[in-house]
């Protein structure tokens, strides 16, 4: 396995970063998770747009131009002979001193890792996941601008710990006002009386690339879609619910906090959206 380490390709064993890197010391940095389907980088431009926007927002200078970054992704994939898999692209503030001042970090540090992906088993897509809601905590999903895909994932990790303790696949995060925001690493959608709903991002949800693809698909397939705030009550009483994310794709939710959602399995609209999503992934993006 070849890792892109700030301009060099090194083996996994040699892929090391400094203990003074502020990505490590403070979670100061940004990242992207991207899928490769049949040699195709799915929605590469959207991922790079989000990365460069996140960088601009936190005043992080990415040392590669947009084109150079895309070339580095393509080359890392090629070197690893990867046709289907997952890319993790990380840009940290880079090495500095122990103070948190980012101006003491002269250069950002770029890492690209490509790996096989351990995703949910296929039956989970038919049967749906069980889920639990996670009540508001100090680090709320809407406390930081949710559009920045930053390395500060402690809140999401705490949510993941709670979902592990509950023995479910993914948890639902509420924002400071109690509205449904997203999962630990997925966006959330519900379907009620044929209408598809997803929370607006200002609620505290990442502007997911898969979320965007599903919004586009709803438009193309003629499903009415509303981006509006909703509560757990709306989730409990929905006909269908599903999560979307780069790793999870489109995965149904069959139960939330012990309430069975719809028929307790992937509903018809969820299933249709997953099928159509799997058709577009191999054609959209960069070869």
Site size for ligand PLP (CB under 6 A): 14
Q: Taking a C-beta distance cutoff of 8 angstroms, is the pair 218, 196 a contact?
A: yes
**Which of helix, strand or coil describes residue 85?**
strand
- Considering only 3, 105, 209, 252, the residue that binds ligand PLP (CB under 6 A) is 209
Residues from 98 through 157 that contact ligand PLP (CB under 6 A): 156
Rank residues 33 and 63 by Cβ distance to ligand PLP and give the closer one. Answer: 33
Tokens standing for residue 154: 């402690």
- Contact range with ligand PLP by CB under 6 A, out of 88-96, 99-107, 239-247, 279-287: 239-247
Closest CA to 285 of 212, 201, 196: 212
Which of 33, 39, 63, 85 is in the footprint of ligand PLP by CB under 6 A?
Answer: 33
> Please, are residues 52 and 26 in contact by the beta-carbon 8 Å criterion?
no
- Least distance (Å) between residue 14 CB and ligand PLP: 27
Please give the positions annotated as active site.
149
Q: Which of these segments, 17-25, 80-88, 158-166, 203-211, binds ligand PLP (CB under 6 A)?
A: 203-211
Binding residue (CB under 6 A) for ligand PLP from 5, 25, 206, 238: 206
Residue 87 found at the interface with ligand PLP (CB under 6 A): no
Structure tokens at 233: 């009550």
Minimum CB separation from ligand PLP for residue 209, in Å?
Answer: 4
Comparing every residue's Cβ against ligand PLP, the nearest one is 208
Q: DSSP letters along the chain, please?
A: -EEEETTEEEEGGG----TTBHHHHH--EEEEEEEEETTEETTHHHHHHHHHHHHHHTT---SS-HHHHHHHHHHHHHHTT-SSEEEEEEEE--B--SS--GGG--S-EEEEEEE------HHHHHH-EEEEEE---SS-TTTS-TTS-BS--HHHHHHHHHHHHTT-SEEEEE-TTS-EEE-SSSEEEEEETTEEEE--GGGT----HHHHHHHHHHHHHT--EEE----HHHHHT-SEEEEEETTTEEEEEEEETTEEPTTSS--HHHHHHHHHHHHHTTTSSB-
CB of 58 to ligand PLP, least distance (A): 16
Q: Of these, 41, 210, 269, 270, which contacts ligand PLP (CB under 6 A)?
A: 210
- The least distance separating ligand PLP from the CB of residue 238, rounded to whole angstroms, comes to 19
Site membership for ligand PLP, residue 246 (CB under 6 A): yes
- Decide if residue 249 touches ligand PLP (CB under 6 A): no
Among 29, 94, 199, 208, binds ligand PLP (CB under 6 A): 208
Q: Mark 151-190 with x for binding to ligand PLP (rule: CB under 6 A) and - for no binding.
A: -----x-------------------------x--xxx---
In the complex, what is the shortest distance from the CB of residue 234 to ligand PLP, in angstroms, rounded to a whole number?
19
- Chain residues in the site for ligand PLP (CB under 6 A): 33, 156, 182, 185-187, 206, 208-211, 244-246
């Amino acid at each position: 396995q070849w890792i892109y380490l700030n301009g060099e390709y090194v083996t996994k064993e040699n892929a090391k970063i400094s203990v003074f890197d502020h990505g490590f010391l403070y979670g100061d940095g940004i990242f992207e998770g991207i899928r490769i389907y049949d040699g195709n980088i799915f929605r590469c431009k959207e991922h790079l747009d989000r990365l460069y926007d996140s960088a601009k927002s936190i005043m992080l200078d990415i040392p590669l131009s947009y084109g150079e970054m895309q070339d580095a992704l393509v080359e890392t994939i090629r070197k690893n002979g990867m046709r289907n898999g997952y890319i993790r692209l990380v840009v940290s503030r880079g090495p500095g001193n122990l103070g948190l001042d980012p101006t003491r970090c002269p250069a950002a540090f770029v890492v690209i890792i490509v790996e096989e992906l351990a995703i949910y088993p296929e039956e989970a897509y038919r049967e749906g996941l069980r889920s639990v809601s996670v009540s508001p905590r100090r680090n709320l999903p809407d406390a930081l601008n949710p559009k920045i895909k930053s390395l500060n994932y402690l809140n999401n990790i705490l949510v993941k710990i709670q979902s592990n303790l509950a023995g479910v696949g993914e948890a639902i995060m509420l924002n400071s006002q109690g509205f449904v925001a997203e999962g630990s690493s997925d966006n959330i959608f519900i379907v009620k009386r044929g209408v598809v709903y997803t929370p607006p991002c200002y609620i505290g949800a990442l502007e997911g690339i898969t979320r965007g693809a599903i919004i586009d698909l709803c438009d193309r397939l003629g499903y009415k879609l509303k981006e509006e705030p909703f509560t757990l009550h709306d989730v409990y009483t929905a006909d269908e619910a599903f999560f979307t994310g780069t790793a999870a794709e489109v995965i149904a939710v069959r139960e939330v906090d012990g309430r069975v959602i719809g028929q307790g399995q992937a509903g018809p609209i969820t299933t249709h959206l997953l099928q159509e999503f799997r058709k577009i992934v191999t054609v959209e993006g960069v070869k």
